[in-house]
Structure formats: structure tokens, C-alpha cells
Amino acid sequence: MQDLLLVLTGAAVSLVTSVVVTWLQARHVRRGEVRIATRDSTRRLTSLFIAEREAADADGAEPTDALAEAEVMCVAIADRRTRERMRALVRLMREIRLPELQRLSGVTPALGRRALCDHALEVLGAHFRGERLPAVPASVQRMLDVEDEALNIHAGGGRAAAADDTGAAPAIAAKTGPIAVPESGPAAEEPAAPAPRGRIRRKPRAEDGKGETAAEPAKPARRSKAKAAAEPDTEDDAHSAFWND
């Protein structure tokens, strides 16, 4: 019985050991793959930002195709702070051509792109060497501070221009309908005619409780009319009887 327990214990220990070793090897391989991918992306990003800086030195007004590839390569960076810093720099390089951002930050597109490329190269070098990230330059920090405000101003101006181009005023007038213009003369006084009818209709409703008293005076009137009609007949009979005698 003891031999069986020893065999089972040895089998369990060997199984656990093999599982742990396999997990450690897979983790090491995974880290190695991530490290290799990060280095490759860092080298590629470095070359892309160098090309972008050369394009900025050549007075390029628009960002090149290398900027789109750099934005894709930023996803492969493992370090969160480095990844967020690079994404912010790429975003600013796309927005540096906006006149609102230039006016609020006081940085021209050529100088701004050059400063952004230099700072991106510094960040990539520190990440490649495993050092601490460098501080953000004053010009880049100023652009980051006014980025949201510049985008809001640009979006508001774009909506206003679109409304002017599409003719927002006719659309609003079509939704609200034509405006009624008061007429002058007899046509304007016609709507006041139904008012007396409403008053005449409301009087019987107010006197419904006195309907019986209002109907009683009509009977003497009918009787007086009948008597008045019968009186001439009696006078004629009297005259005819006199002449007959």
C-alpha cells in the first residue's frame, strides 16, 4: 500500500513539474516574441520619423504616407506610456496644419513638425535603451494643451460653413411653414362674425334651469289670440240678429 502511495505521489509531482516548466517556457517565448516585435517596431518607427522630419525640412505642407504607417506601428509597442506618447505625437503631426491650432499654440507647421519628430526620436531611443522617457518640450506641451480647444473651434466653424453652403435658412423656413400675415379691410374682420352666435347659443344653456318659467308666458298669449279671433264672430252674430228682427 505504501509503495502505491509513493508511486502516485511521484507521478503527481512529475505532472505538476512538467506543467510548470511548460508554462514558464511558453511565457519566456512569448516575452521574447514581444521584445523582438517591439524592437522591430521601434526601429521602423525611428526610420519613419526620420523620413517625416526630412519632409518637414523640405517645407512639406501635408503629412506623408509614412505617418499613417507610423500610427499603425505604434500599436506594437508594449510599454503603455511609450505607446500613449507616440500616439499623441502622431495625432499632433496630423493636426498641426489646422489654422486654429497654429493660432492658439503660436507654432508654425514646419517648426511644429520638426519639434514633434525630434521628440518622437528621443522617446523611441529611450524606450529602445530601456531608460526613462524624456520630458515633453514646451512647444509640444503647448500644442497638447490647446489641442481640444482648437478642435472644438475647427468643428464649430466647419458646421457653420456647411450650414451656409447647404442653405440652412430655407430648410428652417420649410420646416416651420409660411408665416401668417394679418390682412386689412373687410377680410380681416370676417373672423369676428361667429362671436354673436356663440353668445346666443350660451344664453339658452345658462337659462336651462328656468325653462319651465320661460315657457309659461306663452300660453296666455295663445289664449288672448284665440279670444281676439272669437270676438269678431260674436259681433257679427249680434248685428245679423238685429236686422233679422
Per-residue pLDDT at 237: 58
Report how far residue 132's alpha carbon sits from residue 79's, in angstroms, rounded to the nearest whole number: 11
pTM, 2 dp: 0.53
Looking up cell 514646451, which residue turns up?
Answer: 138
Give the cell for residue 221.
298669449
Joined together, the cell numbers standing for residue 179 give 408665416
Q: Give residue 206's identity as a one-letter amino acid code.
A: A
Q: For the purposes of burial, counting CB atoms within 10 Å of the CB of 10, is it exposed (0-12), middle (13-18) or buried (19 or more)?
A: exposed
Instruction: Give the Cα separation of 53 and 59 in Å (integer).
Output: 10
H helices of 58-108, in order, are 65-73, 80-95, 99-105
pLDDT of residue 22: 92
Count of CB atoms situated within 10 Å of the CB of 53: 18
pLDDT, mean of each 10-residue run, the chain (245 residues): 84 91 90 83 86 70 72 83 90 85 83 87 88 88 86 71 48 47 46 49 47 45 50 55 60
Q: How many CB atoms lie within 10 A of CB 234?
A: 8
Q: What angle do CA 28, 30, 31 make, to 5 degrees?
A: 65
Task: Give the rounded distance of the alpha carbon of 171 from its chain centre.
Answer: 20
Q: What is the pLDDT of residues 73-104, one digit of tens each?
A: 888 788 889 889 998 998 888 888 888 888 88
